[in-house]
Amino acid sequence: MQLKPGVVAEYKKRHDELWPELAAELKAAGVSDYSIFLDEDALTLFAVQKVSDGNTAAKLPDSPIVRKWWRYLAPLMETHPDHSPVASPLKEIFHLD
């Protein structure tokens, strides 16, 4: 995902104040151990999350609270017309348990 210039502090602030109903929605969908990392030079965001077996994370884009969150963050990052973040999947090339 990609931030716009000059918004890092606001992006962090909004996540530091994550809405309880959004956190509950993510947990109910089986999402846990969720982190977002920032490449400060490129303003690129990299998110990592664990999902439980039988999770419903693929349905989160249909959630009204998720869509509201996307609209809330849209001024800060590159988005699609529906305000979902522009994201590129990454290929795992190494893993160690």
Compute the distance between CA of residue 73 and CA of residue 85 in angstroms, rounded to an integer. Answer: 9
Beta bridge partners of 46: 37
> CA 43, CA 63: separation in Å to the nearest integer?
27
Is 15 catalytic? The answer is yes
Active-site choice (15, 80, 83, 95): 15
Q: Give the whole-angstrom CA distance, residue 23 versus residue 97.
A: 27
Supply the residues annotated as catalytic: 15
